[in-house]
Amino acid sequence: MTTSSRTRSSVTAIDPPSYSLPHHQEIRRYHAPDTLFSADDYASYEEHCRQLCLRPGLRAALARGGILWRIVQDYLDKDLVLGGPSDDASIYGIRFGLPTAPAASNNPLWDDYLNPEVADALCGLFWAGVVDPNNPKSVREVKYSYWPPPVLWSNMRHSNDFGAWSETNERWFITLRDQYRAGTAQPKRISQWRQELRQFSKDLRHFRLAMETVSAAQLRQLLEEPDA
């Protein structure tokens, strides 16, 4: 099966808050109906990430942590986040404090802002056409992404985010990235990511419960042993 991809203009339905400035607009990436994603598609996505990370304000992705932090580590020095706001924070960033506060106009505070469009692009979000099997002339658009959207990653009901990037997280990321690069894995729908993260989190909770049970038993044994 052949593969192809093209782009569509993105439309922002909601205006940003009054205290944030206009931000970079992203191109809405579109994948042709009923075609598999290939290794070349993933290479194109990685190149797009490299281009995004040339923007000084992309240190905001490191500051977000979680899956975004790991994605951009392939393109940015993780210590970049410690350097403070970038040079374009006052152009594409966010200003702290409401406009009505006196300090907001006299001495505003700025920081880099990662808008949702860029976050989606970093996660490899595509809109793909899906043909209705009951009506071949009907094609509906469905969201696919190479990596789970940040809102799912940080959702406590099915989260792999325990406050630190674990060895389990890293093995999962490297394995899936290698499969994408080899063309042996396909991006997932949002509903599929939700299901996978829920199962992954369930397995981790079972492991943690088992470890807590063993630890509690050992602690009780130590407390019950008489002093030497």
pLDDT in tens, 105-144: 566 778 888 888 889 999 999 887 777 777 767 767 788 9
More confident residue, 66 or 161: 66
Question: pLDDT at residue 8 above 70?
Answer: no
The H-or-E segment that residue 151 falls in is: helix 150-153
| Residue 92: band (very low, low, confident or very high) from pLDDT cuts 50, 70, 90 | confident
Note the pTM of the prediction, 2 decimals.
0.69
Q: What is the pLDDT of residue 22?
A: 43
Question: pLDDT at residue 98 above 90?
Answer: no
Q: What is the pLDDT of residue 21?
A: 39
Write down the residue that tokens 């907001």 correspond to: 104
| Packed helices 39-52 and 167-182: angle between N→C axes, nearest 10 degrees | 120
**Nearest-angstrom CA–CA distance, 74 and 53:** 10
Q: What is the pLDDT of residue 205?
A: 62
| Residue 43: band (very low, low, confident or very high) from pLDDT cuts 50, 70, 90 | very high
- Contact between residue 64 and residue 113 where contact means Cβ atoms under 8 Å apart: no
More confident residue, 199 or 76: 76
- Tell me the domain boundaries of the chain: 5-207
Of 2-6, 117-121, 145-149, 193-197, the poorest mean pLDDT is in: 2-6
Write down the residue that tokens 């993780």 correspond to: 78
- Contact between residue 68 and residue 147 where contact means Cβ atoms under 8 Å apart: no
How many other C-beta atoms lie within 10 A of the C-beta of residue 20? 14
Question: pLDDT at residue 9 above 70?
Answer: no
Task: Indicate the SS3 state at residue 191.
Answer: helix
Tell me: the pLDDT tens digits for 165-184?
888 889 999 999 999 999 99
Region 6-21: mean pLDDT is 35
Question: pLDDT at residue 199 above 50?
Answer: yes
**Nearest-angstrom CA–CA distance, 113 and 93:** 5
What is the token pair recorded at 115? 């808008």
